[in-house]
């Protein structure tokens, strides 16, 4: 991180030092950031953290908002959307009407609405089933915690059963609205009929335990205090520590409309909007993404927010009504091309994503892929991007985009490098283990031979480790198992007989263990004990045909960045240790266990692995 940043407000300097050293910020830090007048420095701090997490990526999705009804049993003061049955403005959508609003190019359908007093449970299940059947490539994000709580009470079902049935019908993720701000004082004043923080968290924690990731929001700019804003954000952070199930955090600016609520100003100011995005990015060190929801911010403020810590603009949001009924002044739909232009104008990579934030397509060139794990930090901590953009991306997704010609260089998974040798040229660097790796782990309920015919859950991130597991099972132990890919985010691991995890997630569970699995196998150690050779997990490569000058420049940058990174393991380890559940000393020991240059023994290991891989048979089944 930038140590030379000029900060005018002296109160922000110790906060920045804590961020640089990997120390977690507290309530007082949050309040100091909200109170500062040095908004530019605050933005720079948040932008630096955002670049560490997301590089130059800004995500968007082709999505459609569906609000099946505005009829609601509640009467919340801040809501201009909801109404009562038989009023002139009331509406109800049939499932056929909902399906008419969807098209095959939509990646995400986002469903929320009023709490209808009469609809039966089967209506909601059938809605999801029909969407899934008619649009199998569209992911469903649906139902706030308020709606889920309403379902369990109205239909007299346990919370867990409500979520299980919705998941089986097609629910992929959940939106984050419902609690507005986690203040009992504000809840009593503005939405006393609505759930509070306790129920909101109960719903989301249960969803995460069942393998349903979700999002989180805050509605700000009404009657809440700065202390209540900070408390809300830190409660999200605490819950994320426990479950890891939140994909993004979305600050939502309150739209007064005709509610009769009189905040200090009719709308939040751009400064207030940018501040809460920056503060959220700095406080929420464990939430992957911060969203600049352009529907409420306006596209102009959302564009600036991309340099204040936000890395997601939501998407095309066709059909959104709730915010606009409350007075949002943005256009009802922002076209894909306009979103791409806004993101490019901010100097970022427009990344079209799915509901889990898996990149589907990039809309720029000169992109370097960055494996977002601790083991690759020595390459990237001091990397000068110059004429390239940096995209943190999981190994498997990097390989997919490289095959489409959308990644020009990067630290490629060995399996993808082998598969794309005709188009990729190696640069002599990589991620190599001597014997154990500590972050490619198989968690199992039994021994290797007990896995015959069993189902193994495979993290969606892996491109090489899954093939290493195939080789070990088939060629070392003569075992055939069934491999099923899990989705990004939280998963219900006990659905499987064994689970393969990689990267920082594996590191975390290497310390705590994974409930239900007694045995942990380090795949690199299994390989070394078998073949007495190191294992190469990733290879730096550049697309063939690139300008020789560009290739030479990139090779020099990699060498300089690695040399500096290797000399700074102690600081790097301290800065990144807490995020993966290690002490600084453990992080340094972990990094020191890798070799980052590829020589003759590494090439021998690559060719041996390639030969064995071609002899394996077990396919990998998609998880959904």
Query: What confidence tens digit (pLDDT) does each residue in 119-165 have?
Result: 999 999 999 999 999 999 999 999 999 999 999 999 999 999 999 99
How much is the pLDDT for 113?
87
How much is the pLDDT for 78?
53
Whether residues 20 and 50 share a domain: the answer is yes
The reply to whether 2 falls in a domain is no
| Element (DSSP H or E) covering residue 483 | strand 482-485
How much is the pLDDT for 296?
73
| Selected residue with higher pLDDT from 303 and 290 | 290
CA geometry: angle 330, 336, 337, nearest 5 deg:
100
Percent residues over pLDDT 90 in the chain:
72
* 77-86, 190-199, 527-536 — most confident range: 527-536
Distance CA 576, CA 582 (A): 9
Q: Computed over its alpha carbons, how large is the radius of gyration of the chain?
A: 25
Going by pLDDT thresholds of 50, 70 and 90, the confidence category of residue 298 is confident
Going by pLDDT thresholds of 50, 70 and 90, the confidence category of residue 81 is low
Whether residues 525 and 540 share a domain: the answer is no
The reply to whether 396 falls in a domain is yes
Chain centre distance of CA 13: 29
Whether residues 221 and 166 share a domain: the answer is yes
Asked which of 531, 555, 581 is the last residue of a domain, the reply is: 531
The reply to whether 357 falls in a domain is no
How much is the pLDDT for 325?
44
State whether residue 255 is helix, strand or coil.
coil
Whether residues 138 and 151 share a domain: the answer is yes
Is the pLDDT assigned to residue 28 strictly greater than 60? yes
**Do 483 and 554 form a contact (C-beta atoms < 8 A)?**
no
The per-residue pLDDT of the chain, averaged, comes to 90
Tell me the residue range of the domain where 415 lies: 364-434+535-621
How much is the pLDDT for 200?
96
| Neighbouring residues of 250: CB distance < 8 A, sequence distance ≥ 6 | 176, 215, 216, 217, 218, 290, 291, 293, 314
Whether residues 413 and 309 share a domain: the answer is no
Query: Taking residues 8-31, what's their average pLDDT?
Result: 95
CATH code for the domain in which residue 495 is found: 3.40.190.10
How much is the pLDDT for 623?
64
Query: What confidence tens digit (pLDDT) does each residue in 378-422 have?
Result: 999 899 877 889 999 999 999 999 999 999 999 999 999 999 999
Whether residues 204 and 258 share a domain: the answer is yes
Query: What confidence tens digit (pLDDT) does each residue in 217-242 have?
Result: 999 988 899 999 999 999 999 999 99
Is the pLDDT assigned to residue 4 strictly greater than 70? no
| Neighbouring residues of 472: CB distance < 8 A, sequence distance ≥ 6 | 448, 523, 526, 527, 530
Distance CA 605, CA 595 (A): 14
Is the pLDDT assigned to residue 48 strictly greater than 60? yes
CATH code for the domain in which residue 79 is found: 3.20.20.70
Asked which of 531, 549, 575 is the last residue of a domain, the reply is: 531
The reply to whether 3 falls in a domain is no
Whether residues 540 and 520 share a domain: the answer is no
Q: How many domains does the chain divide into?
A: 3
Whether residues 398 and 296 share a domain: the answer is no
The reply to whether 54 falls in a domain is yes
The reply to whether 288 falls in a domain is yes
Going by pLDDT thresholds of 50, 70 and 90, the confidence category of residue 256 is low
The reply to whether 358 falls in a domain is no
Whether residues 372 and 521 share a domain: the answer is no
Whether residues 274 and 338 share a domain: the answer is yes
Whether residues 64 and 194 share a domain: the answer is yes
| Neighbouring residues of 495: CB distance < 8 A, sequence distance ≥ 6 | 211, 457
State whether residue 275 is helix, strand or coil.
helix
Is the pLDDT assigned to residue 331 strictly greater than 50? no
Among candidate residues 272, 263, 371, the one with its CA nearest the CA of residue 35: 272
Q: Residue holding tokens 């030969």?
A: 611
Among candidate residues 66, 235, 90, the one with its CA nearest the CA of residue 141: 66
The reply to whether 267 falls in a domain is yes
Asked which of 472, 497, 531 is the last residue of a domain, the reply is: 531
How much is the pLDDT for 82?
63
Decide the pairing of beta strands 171-173 and 139-142. Answer: parallel
Whether residues 47 and 114 share a domain: the answer is yes
Q: Which two tokens stand for residue 382?
A: 């001091």
Query: What confidence tens digit (pLDDT) does each residue in 364-387 have?
Result: 988 999 999 999 999 998 998 778
Going by pLDDT thresholds of 50, 70 and 90, the confidence category of residue 1 is low
């Amino acid at each position: 991180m930038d140590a030379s940043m000029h900060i005018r407000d002296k109160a922000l300097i110790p906060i920045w030092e804590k961020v640089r050293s990997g120390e977690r910020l507290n309530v007082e830090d949050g309040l100091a950031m909200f109170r500062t007048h040095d908004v530019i420095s605050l933005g720079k701090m948040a932008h630096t953290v955002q670049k560490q997490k997301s590089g130059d990526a800004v995500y968007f999705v082709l999505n459609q908002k569906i609000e099946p009804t505005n009829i609601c049993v509640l009467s919340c003061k801040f809501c201009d959307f909801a109404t009562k049955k038989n009023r002139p403005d009331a509406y109800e959508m049939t499932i056929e009407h909902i399906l008419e609003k969807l098209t095959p190019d939509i990646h995400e359908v986002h469903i929320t609405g009023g709490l209808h007093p009469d609809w039966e449970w089967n209506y909601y299940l059938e809605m999801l089933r029909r969407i899934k059947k008619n649009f199998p490539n569209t992911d469903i994000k649906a139902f706030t915690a308020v709606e889920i709580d309403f379902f369990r009470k109205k239909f007299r079902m346990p919370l867990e059963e409500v979520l299980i049935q919705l998941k089986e019908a097609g629910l992929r993720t959940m939106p984050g609205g419902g609690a507005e701000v986690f203040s009992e004082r504000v809840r009593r004043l503005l939405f006393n009929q609505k759930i509070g923080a306790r129920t909101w968290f109960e719903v989301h924690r249960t969803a995460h335990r069942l393998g349903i990731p979700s999002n989180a929001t805050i509605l700000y700019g009404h009657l809440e205090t700065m202390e209540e804003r900070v408390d809300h954000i830190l409660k999200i952070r605490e819950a994320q520590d426990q479950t890891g199930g939140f994909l993004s955090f979305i600050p939502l600016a309150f739209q007064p409309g005709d509610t009769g609520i009189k905040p200090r100003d009719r709308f939040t100011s751009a400064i207030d909007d940018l501040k809460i995005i920056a503060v959220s990015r700095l406080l929420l060190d464990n939430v992957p993404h911060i969203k600049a929801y352009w529907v409420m911010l306006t596209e102009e403020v959302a564009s600036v927010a991309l340099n204040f810590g936000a890395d997601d603009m939501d998407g095309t949001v066709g059909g959104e009504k709730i915010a606009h009924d409350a007075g949002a002044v943005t256009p009802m739909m922002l076209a894909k091309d306009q979103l791409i232009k806004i993101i490019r104008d901010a100097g970022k990579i427009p990344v079209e994503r799915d509901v889990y934030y898996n990149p589907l397509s990039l809309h720029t060139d000169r992109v370097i892929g960055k494996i977002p794990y601790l083991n690759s930090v020595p390459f990237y901590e001091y990397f000068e991007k110059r004429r390239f953009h940096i995209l943190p991306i999981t190994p498997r997704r990097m390989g997919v985009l490289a095959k489409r010609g959308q990644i020009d260089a990067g630290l490629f998974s060995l399996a993808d490098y082998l598969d794309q040798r005709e188009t990729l040229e190696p640069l002599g660097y990589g991620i190599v283990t001597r014997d154990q790796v500590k972050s490619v782990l198989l968690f199992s309920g039994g021994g290797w031979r007990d896995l015959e015919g069993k189902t193994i859950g495979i993290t969606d991130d892996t491109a090489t480790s899954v093939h290493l597991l195939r080789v070990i099972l088939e060629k070392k132990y003569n075992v055939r198992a069934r491999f099923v890919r899990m989705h990004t985010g939280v998963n219900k691991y006990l659905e499987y007989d064994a689970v393969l995890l990689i990267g920082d997630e594996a590191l975390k569970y290497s310390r705590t263990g994974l409930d239900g699995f007694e045995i942990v196998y380090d795949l690199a150690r299994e390989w070394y004990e078998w073949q007495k050779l190191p294992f190469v997990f990733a290879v730096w490569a550049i697309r063939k045909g690139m300008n020789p000058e560009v290739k030479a420049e990139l090779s020099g940058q990699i060498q300089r960045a690695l040399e500096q990174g290797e000399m700074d393991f102690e600081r790097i380890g301290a800065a990144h240790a807490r995020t993966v559940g290690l002490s600084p000393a453990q992080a340094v020991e972990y990094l020191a266990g890798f070799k980052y240059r590829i020589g003759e023994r590494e090439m021998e290991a690559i060719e041996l692995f390639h030969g064995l891989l071609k002899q394996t048979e077990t396919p990998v089944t998609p998880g959904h």
